[in-house]
Amino acid sequence: MTVIHFHHYDRSPFSEKVRVAFGLKRLRWHSVIQPRWAPKPDLEPLTGGYRRTPVMQIGADLYCDTRCILAELERRFPEPGLYPDGPAGLGDALESWADRALFADALGFVFGTQGDRFPEALHADRARFTAGRFSGWDPDAMRAQLPTVAVRLRRKLDRLEALLGDDRPYLLGCDPGMADLAVRHPLWYLRENLPERIDWARRPALVAWMKRLDTIGHGERVEATPAQALLAARNAMPIAVGASSRGAAELSQWIGKRVRVAADDWGGDPVEGMLAGADTGRVSLARRDAQLGQLMVHFPVDGFDIRLADRTDAVRATSEPGAGDPAI
Ligand SMILES: N[C@@H](CCC(=O)N[C@@H](CS)C(=O)NCC(=O)O)C(=O)O
């Protein structure tokens, strides 16, 4: 039986995106609560330094970033699917928009409105984490941005209301999927933090859609400790990485070499490991931890900077002629 350990905290919006996917797929999962800010001594040994929330663990395999987590859930538990209506590309496009543009405005609105309410340690951590984005996470600067952010957010909410205005139950049709999970989590975050600041009465279709998604729930959640998750990793071996690297020749030529992977938006702490697999969706890094043994850390290709870690390898790779490179 597949045992899922999910490293998260309850207030994390990106975690909420996955928790609803657990509900949709009616899965049982072990909830491992991690701190809201670094250091994360029970997470970083597993991932090799990736500290963002959430991370999904299945034995000695670690899935970083919700895009990688949801793709793995879809692979292992295909029914019901995350792309029930319309082309998958449309679901992914909406996901991208929601995870970055909509989420950034929701975050700017919450911190701009009530930045003083959060602990100092959180501000200090997020200033480093976001590396200059979000007004350097300075409460005054974020407040100064509030009028612009409010107007941007209002327009996005109105667009969503219009999209749902033809009585469709979910964003892309009759059943919930990726687009709904992704668009809901920034709105859930707004509702959790500033319920009275959203003009819900003007957006009945959005309210009904949120209610429909709320009823999906989170599947079967079982509490677990970080020590149990670490033990599960130590007692397991990573799954073999699939041989298929179709469409990812530029990355799969580095298989067996040391690579460095870092998120290209925020929380860019790099992870190094030996590239064990690459396809168009993800890269898999083999790592060894002195306490935990052999691990495999998976990242999406989208949204991550992936490069050779060894300078000599990197210089050689970029100076070699590219005549044989496949077309895009
Ligand atoms: N693109 C990432 C974004 C993850 C993200 O930004 N998560 C936030 C929490 S919702 C985070 O890591 N905050 C800092 C932390 O938890 O240490 C994903 O889809 O997983």
Domain count for the chain:
1
Distance of CA 102 to the CA centre of its chain: 14
Ligand 1 center to residue 200 CA distance, Å? Answer: 27
From CA 276, how far away is CA 62, in angstroms rounded? 14
**pLDDT number for residue 46:** 98
In a domain, 13, yes or no: no
From CA 312, how far away is CA 291, in angstroms rounded? 30
**pLDDT number for residue 257:** 97
From CA 94, how far away is CA 85, in angstroms rounded? 13
Confidence of residue 320 (pLDDT cuts 50, 70, 90): low
Specify the residue with its C-alpha closest to ligand 1, atom 18. 65
Count of other CB atoms within 10 angstroms of residue 242: 10
Ligand 1 center to residue 54 CA distance, Å? Answer: 6
Could you give the angle at which helices 88-97 and 178-193 cross, rounded to 10 degrees?
20
Ligand 1 center to residue 14 CA distance, Å? Answer: 6
Confidence of residue 327 (pLDDT cuts 50, 70, 90): confident
Residue span of the structural domain in which 173 resides: 88-214
**pLDDT number for residue 216:** 98
CATH classification of the domain holding 145: 1.20.1050.10
**pLDDT number for residue 66:** 98
Confidence of residue 36 (pLDDT cuts 50, 70, 90): very high
In a domain, 286, yes or no: no
Q: Which atom of ligand 1 is nearest to the CA of 37?
A: 17
Q: Report the amino acid identity of residue 57.
A: Q
In a domain, 231, yes or no: no
In a domain, 148, yes or no: yes
Q: pLDDT exceeding 90 applies to what percent of the chain?
A: 86
In a domain, 315, yes or no: no
Ligand 1 center to residue 53 CA distance, Å? Answer: 4
In a domain, 11, yes or no: no
Residues paired with 272 in a beta bridge: 260
**pLDDT number for residue 208:** 98
Question: Which residue in 113, 208, 213 sits closest to 153, CA to CA?
Answer: 113
Specify the residue with its C-alpha closest to ligand 1, atom 1. 65
Mean pLDDT of 67-82: 98
**pLDDT number for residue 151:** 98
Predicted TM-score (pTM) of this structure: 0.96
Q: pLDDT exceeding 70 applies to what percent of the chain?
A: 96
Ligand 1 center to residue 167 CA distance, Å? Answer: 33
Q: Which atom of ligand 1 is nearest to the CA of 54?
A: 20
**pLDDT number for residue 311:** 76
**pLDDT number for residue 132:** 84
Could you give the angle at which helices 146-163 and 103-114 cross, rounded to 10 degrees?
140
Specify the residue with its C-alpha closest to ligand 1, atom 7. 53
Q: At a CB cut-off of 8 Å and minimum separation 6, what does 219 contact?
A: 19, 22, 23, 25, 26, 27, 28, 29
Q: Which residues line ligand 1 (CB under 6 A)?
A: 12-14, 36-37, 51-53, 65-67, 99, 129, 267, 303
- The more confident residue out of 150 and 243 is 150
Q: Beta strand pairing status for 282-289 and 293-300?
A: antiparallel
Mean pLDDT of 33-48: 98
Flag whether pLDDT at 280 surpasses 60. yes
Specify the residue with its C-alpha closest to ligand 1, atom 12. 52
Q: Which atom of ligand 1 is nearest to the CA of 14?
A: 10
Flag whether pLDDT at 321 surpasses 70. no
Query: What does residue 323 show for φ and ψ, rounded to 5 degrees?
Result: -55, -35
Ligand 1 center to residue 326 CA distance, Å? Answer: 34
C-alpha atoms less than 13 angstroms from C-alpha of 192 in its C-beta half-sphere: 15
Reported as a single tens digit per residue, the pLDDT across 43-66 is 999 999 999 999 999 999 999 999
In a domain, 241, yes or no: no
What is the greatest pairwise CA distance in the chain? 61
**pLDDT number for residue 117:** 86
Residues found in the chain: 328
In a domain, 183, yes or no: yes
Count of other CB atoms within 10 angstroms of residue 218: 18
From CA 239, how far away is CA 276, in angstroms rounded? 11
